[in-house]
Structure 1
Amino acid sequence: MSLSFRLWTDVLQLFFPDSCPGCGETLRQHDARICARCSARLPYTGFRGGTGNPVEKVFWGRTPVQAATAVFYFAKTGLLQKLVHDCKYRGRRDLALYLGGCMGKVLQEDSSFGPVTLVVPVPLHRRRQRQRGYNQAALLAEGIAGVLCRPCASDVLRRTKNTGTQTRRSRTARWENMADAFALSKPEAVAGAHILLVDDVLTTGATLDACAAVLSAAPGARLSIATLAYAGEL
């Protein structure tokens, strides 16, 4: 783990509230951003990146990926839903960075992700990012990059269309909504790279597919995918 990543997390621990976002209990000094009890309840998937896991199967026949995984399961009203909601809508940048670090530790133990050379988050549209003040996927990517000691590039991919939320759209509508939604800002930065594309929750894969198509068009680029959570069957 890089020195800058450790310093950043130490600063966050000084300034953010000391209650667990999972259960509301007061955090103890040795706790990270969630309490030990909630940490033990985190629903890890146990997927491996290159073994035909459910996340990899989402992209079969559609997007050529070297490896794909999700670190946690996502369920409505579950612990992960609450943590993701806090990351996206309650300004918990510290929590997003912490969860990115958790992702990084899992990926670090999976040899399928060893060849990764560059970490790239799914971007928000500039209007949405101005409203929210940050991109939670970029913070997850920073957390991963800090553990893997890889560069994180949040400026190589941009969202050209304000697609709005995908939550209430049908599967077909999601795919149609994401058409031509992304473009490369710095093609030279991803040429020849093994890119780890990062997002928060995987549902249909429409957003990740749209990003992957753009990134894969760069000369010599290879692609792997990691999401915080997978909204599939437990």
Structure 2
Amino acid sequence: MNSFKTILSDTLHLFYPHVCNGCGSDILDDTNLLCLKCINELPHSNFAQHANNPIEKIFWGRIPITSAHAEFYFAKESLIQALIHQLKYKNNMEIGFYLGELMGKSLLNSNRFQNIDYLIPLPLYPDKERKRGYNQATVICNGISSAMNIPVLTNRVIRLRFTETQTRKHRTERWENVKGSFVVKNESILHNKNILLVDDVITTGATLESCGQAILKAEGTTLNIATLAFAAK
């Protein structure tokens, strides 16, 4: 019987191989998304453990936040870029959830992200979300929620207008591009709450700043920020 199961498993693996989402290797357990080599190569930042880290410094003098974190360093042609590309453009929500869980565990191991009431994903413009089929920030939030047992609050922060890609804009242009793009619907639910605003990648922080300003209009609200990756300029 065990021999038959082994043959069946090998046959299924031949026609439906389970491969690493990072490097494509088939040397991994069927329950894992990444092989041990790729797991060991994930460029964790450990920012969650440290006050005044590079993510928090981005917002100095711009918006009052309690704590900020990015789980990984982002670089072009890197493993993290490939995984985030799969999440955003290849419908690979599984990898987004997995990376979100890793970030949630890092936040749990820090004493700087305690008593968070809600996770809020940075909203996409509705037409863009419909076209993609999901918001990648919500997928990440679901992973964090699985690790931290904190509810995800969606459809409360609204993106009012489509904004052009920020990729080739400098800091001032990025801010002008997203200024006034967000509003909170029924903001009383955020009164006196401690919020963690979540996105995939942070560069200048202009979009998160604009969204954070809308959230902080709610009475007594405090704001934290977390992203999967940090793309240093």
Question: Residue 31 of structure 1: CA displacement?
Answer: 4.9
Q: Is 1:177 paired with 2:177?
A: yes
Which residue number in structure 2 is paired with residue 37 of structure 1?
37
1:60 & 1:217 partners in 2: Cα distance?
A: 18
Which residue number in structure 1 is paired with residue 123 of structure 2?
123
- What is the CA deviation profile of residues 100-150 of structure 1, one whole-angstrom value per residue up to 9, with x for unaligned ones? 101101000011101211100100000100110001011101111111111
Question: Residue 49 of structure 1: CA displacement?
Answer: 5.3
Question: Residue 29 of structure 1: CA displacement?
Answer: 2.3
After TM superposition, the structure 1 stretch with the greater mean CA deviation from structure 2, 222-231 or 186-195, is 186-195
Structure 1: runs of 5 or more not aligned: 1-15
Whether contact under 8 Å (1:19, 1:26) holds in the other structure is yes
- What is the CA deviation profile of residues 53-102 of structure 1, one whole-angstrom value per residue up to 9, with x for unaligned ones? 00000001111011001110000111111111110001101111111101
Which residue number in structure 2 is paired with residue 155 of structure 1?
155
Question: Residue 27 of structure 1: CA displacement?
Answer: 5.5
Structure 2: runs of 5 or more not aligned: 1-15
Q: Is 1:108 paired with 2:108?
A: yes
Q: How does 1:184-203 map to 2 (within 5 A)?
A: 184-203=184-203
Q: How does 1:134-153 map to 2 (within 5 A)?
A: 134-153=134-153
Whether contact under 8 Å (1:20, 1:35) holds in the other structure is yes
1:185 & 1:162 partners in 2: Cα distance?
A: 18
Which residue number in structure 2 is paired with residue 215 of structure 1?
215
TM-score by length of 1: 0.89
Question: Residue 43 of structure 1: CA displacement?
Answer: 0.2
2:120 & 2:48 partners in 1: Cα distance?
A: 20
Q: Structure 1 161/41 Cα, relative in aligned 2: closer, same or farther at 3 Å?
A: same
Given residue 64 of structure 1, which amino acid in structure 2 is its aligned partner? Answer: P
Alpha-carbon RMSD? 1.6
Given residue 108 of structure 2, which amino acid in structure 1 is its aligned partner? Answer: Q
Question: Residue 162 of structure 1: CA displacement?
Answer: 0.5
Question: Residue 36 of structure 1: CA displacement?
Answer: 1.4
The ranges of structure 1 where at least 4 consecutive aligned residues each deviate by more than 3 angstroms after the TM superposition are none
1:186 & 1:144 partners in 2: Cα distance?
A: 24
TM-score by length of 2: 0.89
